[in-house]
Amino acid sequence: MKKTGILFTLLGLLLAGCADDKGYYLTGSAEGVEDGKKIYIAQLDPSTRAPKMIDTATVSNGEFEIDMEEQDAPNLSFLRLEGSNGNVVFVSENQRIRFEIDKDTLMNSVVDGGSENKALQEYLNHIKEMNRKMTNIQKESRQAMMNQDREKLSSLRETQQELQENDKVVKEELLKRYNDAYVSVMILSDMLNMRSHTPAEVGEYYDEVSDRIKQTTLAKKLEEDLEKRSTYEVGSKAPEFSGPTPDGKELALSENLGKVTVVDFWAAWCKPCRVENPNLVKTYNKYKDDGLNIISVSLDRPGQKDRWIQAIKEDNLEDWDHVSNLQFWNEPIAKKYGVKAIPATFVLDEKGTIVAKNLRGEALSEKIGELLQ
């Protein structure tokens, strides 16, 4: 259950750019588009992460133009043709920007104008190529699984890992070249949301972004996200919480810290969690007499307390503490810890400081043994 980044929600929205004319002015050709068709211009609304309509134009003799208000700061923008699916994505900037609209496939439309759009196209082209290669790997992997070709599967996994490492390198190189462009904040937002980089790493790159770009609404949203996530990163004090136990009592983290405490997020409906539970039981039995404590936080659904309790019994988890508000992904404790996927674990020292996270199996056991020594 992963979240996706900004640009992965925009796959299929492609453009290009380069021009020096001043003034935010849009023109374009729309060959084959009948007169009277509307061209809609929208901008990204940071609060909703959705396009918000700001202006329209009308096609006449295969052309259109819009004289836009000058921009105080760049913003992600969208052009849509009445009656067509999809958008052309571009960056609003105080330049003369010209579009060549492909009425049949908007993703093939071209935008010419502005240094911001040149930078954006380079990133979009990388994302498009990355997505194409990953899609091919997924298709080949499905075929290899059907053929029970383990050697092929292993090779494909290595190729996938190489692609992911290359993706990180490309993003980091783009950030160095375009730290005074709007695309830099988009790249950093994707790094954070796709978890390819830690919040600390994203924060370091963000420090190099120009003050001009830091004034944009998307940059301010990124700052908020970084600040929020810093509260549950390694080295931070674990967010305090309390929650109802299966017998209806209230249990607080601060009152139940051991020498080492594992805060484990799971759910009865989560198969990977249930598969991992025997490893957690083994680790607990090995170190409980040395000061290990576990608090399991369930993301079970409202009205399914019985399933939660039954899963605790079935997986032999009764020897440690459990809490849940039974609110599924709206579980307030999970939100405090930024949990977007389960199983998820946070390892705390005796002072309640997060010293490790998202370790499983033997890796979790080794870390706990190291801490208790």
Burial, 180: exposed, middle or buried (Cβ in 10 Å; 0-12, 13-18, 19+)? middle
Alpha carbon distance 250, 243 (integer Å): 5
Alpha carbon distance 157, 144 (integer Å): 11
Q: How many CB atoms lie within 10 A of CB 208?
A: 11
| CA-angle at 205, arms to 72 and 339, nearest 5° | 100
Helix ranges, the chain (H): 115-146, 150-177, 183-194, 199-207, 211-214, 217-229, 271-287, 305-314, 332-336, 361-372
- Residue 6's pLDDT is 54
Displacement of CA 35 from its chain's centroid (Å): 41
- Residue 11's pLDDT is 46
Indicate the pairing of strand 25-29 with strand 96-100.
parallel
Task: Collapse the DSSP code of 91 into the 3-class scheme (helix H, G, I; strand E, B; otherwise coil) and give the result.
Answer: strand
Alpha carbon distance 39, 57 (integer Å): 5
The residue behind tokens 């079970």 is: 300
More confidently predicted of 273 and 199: 273
Q: Strand pairing partners for 63?
A: 29, 60
Q: What is the DSSP letter of 22?
A: B
Label residues 220-249 b or e (16+ Cβ within 10 Å = b). eebeebbeebeebbeeeebbebebeeeeee
The residue behind tokens 């919480």 is: 241
As a whole number, mean pLDDT of residues 249-261 equals 95
Q: What is the pTM of this model?
A: 0.66
Q: 322-345: per-residue pLDDT in tens?
A: 999 999 999 999 999 989 899 999
Q: 6-64: per-residue pLDDT in tens?
A: 554 454 443 333 334 457 999 999 999 999 999 999 998 867 778 899 999 999 999 99
Residue pair 193/3 in contact (Cβ under 8 Å)? The answer is yes
**Backbone phi, then psi, for 257, in 5-degree steps?**
-80, 135
Alpha carbon distance 124, 351 (integer Å): 45
Both tokens of 258, joined, read 């051991």
As a whole number, mean pLDDT of residues 164-176 equals 95
- Residue 15's pLDDT is 36
Alpha carbon distance 269, 308 (integer Å): 9
- The band of 258, judged by pLDDT with boundaries at 50, 70 and 90, is very high
**Backbone phi, then psi, for 126, in 5-degree steps?**
-65, -45
Nearest to 26 by CA among 90, 122, 107, 76: 90
Domains within the chain, CATH numbers bracketed: 15-114 (2.60.40.180), 118-232 (no CATH), 242-372 (3.40.30.10)
